[in-house]
Amino acid sequence: MASRAPSIVFSHVGIHVTDLRRMVEFYTRFLGFTVTDRGPLDTPHGPIELAFLSRDPDEHHQVVLVTGRPADAGFNTVNQISFRVDGLPALRATHARLAGEPVTDVQAVSHGNALSLYFRDPEGNRIELFIDTPWYVSQPLRIPMDLSLPDDALWKWVEETARPLPGFKPREEWRREMTARMGAR
């Protein structure tokens, strides 16, 4: 009989970078991370330097930036790094702050179950900042969104666009179904 997988909780992500100084500066200044440790490490493939970053004093690091990414890397295998923010005002404020930053590909979208702000950091890694909505809809879904709408108008638009979509239901109903499906408590 196969044993059940152990209980796991996602902890952190590490990404290779070409310009560690520039990336540490962006992640600390713009995204609010703190450098918790940093330094060189000899590896079988040669020396690297690491910077450990966190926004949670209970987590030594949530992101680790590691030198060694070739400047001419043609493809980044990390699709995105996603961070939940604490509400629509934070999403809007971040969107406004992006104007003067060395980022590209800024997009505000509704997924029906989340409102997301996507952009590429200074080395092209896709970052998602998001908030949950009170609804669930089947994924994938990506609808361009106008963050300049007033709160009431934006939430009305999100619900009106999500309601006719496949799988629409209150988030709590979806959560109960997933709890049962996962055998969780």
Whole-structure pTM value: 0.85
pLDDT at 76: 76
Whether the CB-CB separation of 134 and 87 falls below 8 Å is answered with no
Q: Which residues on neighbouring strands pair with residue 60, listed in sequence order?
A: none
Closest CA to 14 of 50, 65, 54, 90: 65
Of 2-6, 47-51, 123-127, 174-178, least confident by mean pLDDT is 2-6
Whether the CB-CB separation of 162 and 135 falls below 8 Å is answered with yes
Q: Kindly report, residue by residue over 133-176, the tens digit of the pLDDT.
A: 999 999 999 999 999 999 999 999 999 999 999 999 999 999 99
Report domain extents, the chain.
12-69, 79-185
Residue 7 has pLDDT above 90, yes or no: no
pLDDT at 172: 96
Closest CA to 122 of 18, 14, 13: 18
The CATH architecture to which 12-69 belongs is Roll (3.10)
pLDDT at 69: 86
pLDDT at 28: 96
pLDDT at 6: 62
Fold of 79-185: 2,3-Dihydroxybiphenyl 1,2-Dioxygenase; domain 1 (3.10.180)
Residue 86 has pLDDT above 70, yes or no: yes
Tokens at 153, concatenated: 């108008």
Cis peptide before 150 (omega within 30 of 0): no
pLDDT at 34: 96
Residue 1 has pLDDT above 60, yes or no: no
Q: 12-69 with 79-185: one CATH topology?
A: yes
With 0-12 / 13-18 / 19 or more C-beta atoms within 10 angstroms meaning exposed / middle / buried, residue 110 is buried
What value does the mean pLDDT take over residues 56-69? 92
What value does the mean pLDDT take over residues 23-44? 95
Alpha helices by DSSP H, listed for 46-150, are 88-97
